[in-house]
């Protein structure tokens, strides 16, 4: 019996929020877990601020990482017990001081169907997720590229 996709997505969101200690510490919340795109939010908390009163670079990086996972994990929802997914590389460009609550939006560069097909054919796939981090005014505070690698473990 297969689970409805929305149930699987809710399960993945809950797993992230309960089992990724550093993300939990920062208060990052996954807002959207979807095929090819995802969103996460970093609240404005004293624990995530730097010495200048803006969001710490490490917290912003973690937020971008979370949004990239939210954008890509959904296409592998029915394979979650038979894959190993890990970030292979990442690059972030900080554009301006990130103050207040920050929203990260991730989008896969390649169509999700193409990535999944390559995985199904080869048992291994690499792909990139582009992430934009914005403040509450909609200003871009950082841009990130996250390279993922997913391999079959069965």
Tell me which of 3.10.129.10, 3.30.1020.10, 2.130.10.10, 3.20.20.70 is the CATH number of domain 5-152. 3.10.129.10
How high is the pLDDT of residue 98?
Answer: 98
How high is the pLDDT of residue 16?
Answer: 75
d(CA 60, CA 58): 5
d(CA 118, CA 112): 10
19: tokens are 């089992």
Angle, helices 5-19/57-72, rounded to nearest 10 degrees? 160
How high is the pLDDT of residue 24?
Answer: 81
First to last CA, the chain: 20
What pTM was computed for the model?
A: 0.90
Count other C-beta atoms under 10 Å from residue 92's C-beta: 17
pLDDT per residue as tens digits for the range 9-63: 677 777 777 777 888 888 999 999 888 999 999 999 999 999 999 999 999 999 9
pLDDT per residue as tens digits for the range 56-102: 999 999 999 999 999 988 888 888 789 999 999 999 999 999 999 99
How high is the pLDDT of residue 8?
Answer: 62
Q: Which residues contact 136 (CB under 8 A, 6 or more apart)?
A: 100, 101, 103
- Answer whether residue 2 shows pLDDT above 60: no
How high is the pLDDT of residue 1?
Answer: 38
How high is the pLDDT of residue 73?
Answer: 84
């Amino acid at each position: 019996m297969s689970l409805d996709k929305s149930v699987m997505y809710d399960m993945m969101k809950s797993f992230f929020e309960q089992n990724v200690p550093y993300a939990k510490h920062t208060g990052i919340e996954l807002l959207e877990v979807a095929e090819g795109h995802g969103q996460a939010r970093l609240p404005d908390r004293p624990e995530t601020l730097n010495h200048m009163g803006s969001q710490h670079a490490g917290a912003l990086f973690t937020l971008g990482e979370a949004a990239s996972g939210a954008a890509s994990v959904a296409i592998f929802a029915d394979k979650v017990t038979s894959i190993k997914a890990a970030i292979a590389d990442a690059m972030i460009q900080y554009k301006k001081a990130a103050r207040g609550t920050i929203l990260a939006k991730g989008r896969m560069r390649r169509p999700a169907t193409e990535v999944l097909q390559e995985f199904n054919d080869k048992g291994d796939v690499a792909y990139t997720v582009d992430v934009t981090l914005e403040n509450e005014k909609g200003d871009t505070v950082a841009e990130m590229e996250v390279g993922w690698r997913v391999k079959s473990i069965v």
